[in-house]
Structure 1
Amino acid sequence: MSVISEENVRGGSVFKDISADDDDWQPSEIESLCMNCYKNGMTRMLLTKIPFFKEIIVSSFSCANCGWSNTEIQSAGRIQEQGICYTLKVKAKLDLNREVVKADSATTRIPELDFEIPPFTQKGSLSTIEGLLDRAVAGLEQDQSVRRAADPDVAEKIDEFIQKLKKLKDVEEEFTLVIEDPSGNSFVENPVAPQKDEALTVSRFKRTVEQDKQLGLRPDEDLEEEEPAGSDLDTMRNEVLVFNTNCPECNAPASTNMKLVQIPHFKEVIIMATNCDSCGHRTNEVKSGGATEELGTKITLRVTDHSDMNRDLLKSETCSVAIPELEFELGMAALGGKFTTLEGLLKDIKDLIVSKNPFICGDSGSTDRVQKLSEFGDKIDKILAGEMKIHFILDDPTGNSYLQNVYAPDPDPEMTVEKYTRTFEQNEDLGLNDMKTEGYQEENGTG
């Protein structure tokens, strides 16, 4: 028995193009339970890539005890943004050899016979068009013996239809095969790829609400239908919004998730997270969900216990951080906006000052500077371990930062929150001195 081993991971990927020439690429074998006789059988899994398509997982189960076998394919990627529909004109026997990936969410139709295989009635399969027809015939023949005894007329009609399906494999007349998959993860081979296939039409479509529900992309009870018109803000609170962007590291297409979150005893904030599938870079950012407060906020926490490291913390992009015991201050905009814990922010500070500092690497780093920053990193480690007591200060002139009060709604004896009036310089830095929102129309004579 083997699992997905290091020998199978080539070039940083466990997926390999389908090829009959590579004998070294073997499926992984996993001993598993047979659902027919409840003894142990063997599941073989192959992680492969289909040319001009994507990665899939092919699994095959066989039981040596009772002879039962089963095959299945699963998409190794995510559900696509749009559904996909393949329409193929089958004109010759050679077309029956085209490879087909049929996801379990796909609908298969042959309009000439008024035949349809609904979604989620078969498991996903990697086959050919001929294999799809054979599988359809096998499904119809499965209970024919029972039907002949219970309802001979129905059994006779099904026998006639089975003969029509079998006759399609002779391709005496042209017929149409349609595979429509709302998940976007089905595929019909183009044998002349990357050139255009005149017999194959590929179209994409936007999923309906019902299809989203079938794929588990939205709840059964559609919240949007129950909400009154004009409740866009309520919709944002219930959904994770996704929009396309580019990775800040490799500039490859990526997606950013955005969610409006209510922080208890504080306010609403917008959390944004980007994950790049190409280079693996991840980033998250927090924006205030409200306006700039009239007063700034200064939060001082006396860290006395290791449990303080678990306090939730919201640092806006305008917030500065200070630790007097280390004579350390981090200005606004450094590290951006973050929603994390006190431990998480201290680790980010250590990475920024010590691990990712270009001035302590190679020839750029003087011995004295490297030693001082190394000592700073050691002190951060002591704070994280609860061996050093400090005062941790968040100073945000916009009033949009937050540190969890573990005694809420009662006052926290180790934390003080001060409100203050911003200075002219602080308003200038925030661009508030030039911002006028009152009496604008009257002064400009637009009454």
Structure 2
Amino acid sequence: MSVISEENVRGGSVFKDISADDEDGQPTEIESLCMNCYQNGTTRLLLTRIPFFKEVIVSSFSCGICGWSNTEIQSAGRIQDQGVCYTLRVKTKQDLNREVVKADSATTRIPELDFEIPPFTQKGSLSTIEGLLDRAVAGLEQDQPVRRASHPEVAEQIDSFIQKLKKLKEVEDEFTLVIEDPSGNSFVENPVAPQRDEALTVSHFKRTAEQDKQLGIRADDDDDGDLDEQPAANDLDTMRNEVLVFSTNCPECNSPASTNMKLVQVPHFKEVIIMATNCDSCGHRTNEVKSGGATEELGTKITLHVTDPSDMTRDVLKSETCSVIIPELEFELGMAALGGKFTTLEGLLKDIKDLIVSKNPFVCGDSTTTDRLQKLGEFGEKIEKIITGEMDVHVILDDPAGNSYLQNVYAPDPDPEMTVEKYTRSFEQNEDLGLNDMKTEGYQEEN
């Protein structure tokens, strides 16, 4: 039986990259109770790191007496800063083949059937849309024999609902699948990546106090969510003159790390809060930017015509609410996809390439198609051509909150290759920014 050593745990190396060549990567075997026959069976645990995805715990139970078995996958990575909600409009049978990573904290809904699978009622899984439907049907059918004997009317109603779920797999009518995960660790595949998926909407949201308690990142008796007990973090003079340091965990290897935070004045723009994390264990570095001010009255749309490699050195401040569009590549990156960043245009393009190509969780494994790999490879090559000045494109930063910035190298004179447009936000954009309480008579919801 394998043993997880104390040295590995403390060193943060207990999770190893999954590889067929690793002969030492044997699972940990634990004798455990079979919940079917109540005899002793064996649970195998494999702590591994899936390439381009994250750390996971794969567990498999088997009973040599009754033959019952069970398999489960759990995320071992960090809980994300924001929750995520995927809304997919299923239109064809091909949509049923989309891969889905569903964390146990996710809620699954099909509004057309008024059907919902609450969080923490199913274990985490890597499946497809069709697999999710099959799992829901199997769960409803599990206790049907008992219901038919004790409550035949209820069993008949559930049988009728099961037929409706099964009929969804024929896709005779379109239906909507919603996966909402406060941990931010669920995914729904975009088969046309890096292009925008018209059938899939991805939005991020701030967790409620109750969701924080469910995820175990807030004590059950902690009802005070403010930060009044941290006067140093709220002292603007301290933030302007000093670099604040606080402990955190590395987003890559989960080892203890430190995050530096400072309030910085961006020339010709405004004050922003820059947070940088450096990990001594794996060398991972990341930076995040938060606006130091409130949401602007008008949104901002910045369009830069990239004509020279020197444009790559322009400073870029991309807020969490900013979308990045490259029309020549038919590419659009939604808000919150990369979080807030203060970098250069070259750094932003490299981050986009890493997100879409290198760190895409659906570009590896048996289900990956050659066509998808080729398409993503071509996208990565085009990004490199833009960086080296071999491709003439427009880069658009569209921020409805007005908190993004692209350096004007001709300042204070106008930049001939850059336009800045101010616009009034739509009702839907105010909804996304959480400005519902700021509705006026000028905003009317469109049906």
* TM-score, reference length from structure 1: 0.48
**TM-score normalised by structure 2 residue count:** 0.48
Q: Which has the higher contact order (CA 8 A, sep 6+)?
A: 2
Max Rg structure = 1
